[in-house]
Amino acid sequence: MSDDKYKQIFSQNLRYYMSINNKEQIDLINDLGFNKSAVSTWCNGTRLPRMDKVNMLAEYFNINRSDLIEDRQTVPDTTVKSFQCDTDDEANLILSYRKLNDKNKQKCTAYTNTLLTTQKMEDELVLNAAHDNGATPDQKRHADDIMKNPDEWE
């Protein structure tokens, strides 16, 4: 691959991560102490940063170095590392989680577990309500089938 292609890939990836993190060139300059002209050349694809700068950028965005230097689509392709995601929202959720600090990752995990517990309790309440209202065995099986298939819910 040509040097110009690497510059273009890096520029595209850098601008993508700046965009999703609501960062401007001035933020990189101020937050990381980078030279204004260097950041400009990286963003416009005329130069590549040294690896120490790539490392700093990867840490800043909480991503891997490869996310900046490898050719990939700028929009998540619903594959995030070893996870196969069903939607772009799911892929973005995983990417967002990875940007959280450890304290906020713990909060996110706790909140997700609370949501899952609540969802399970709600499902059981609906199922029990169907079973407790004098439903026949066939009606109970039908209610069970509906609960197992979210496409049936309105």
Q: Which residues contact 9 (CB under 8 A, 6 or more apart)?
A: 69, 70, 71
Instruction: Report the amino acid identity of residue 27.
Output: D
Residue 81 has, within 13 A of its CA and on its CB side, a CA count of: 7
Domain boundaries defined on the chain: 3-73, 102-152
pLDDT value, residue 33: 96
Tokens standing for residue 117: 């517990």
Residue 136: CB atoms within 10 A of its CB come to 8
Give 154's pLDDT tier (boundaries 50, 70, 90). low
Q: pTM of the full predicted structure?
A: 0.49
Short-list 79, 81, 57, CA closest to 69 = 57
Q: Which fold has domain 3-73?
A: 434 Repressor (Amino-terminal Domain) (1.10.260)
Short-list 59, 79, 58, 78, CA closest to 13 = 58
Q: Average pLDDT in the 130-148 region? A: 69
Short-list 51, 59, 48, 53, CA closest to 9 = 48
Short-list 55, 59, 63, CA closest to 96 = 63
Q: List pLDDT tens digits, range 33-89.
A: 999 999 999 999 999 999 999 999 999 999 999 999 988 654 444 444 545 666 777
pLDDT over threshold 80, residue 6: yes
Q: Which of 15-29, 91-105, 117-131 has the lowest mean pLDDT?
A: 117-131
Dihedral Cα 91, 95, 96, 100, nearest 10 deg: 150
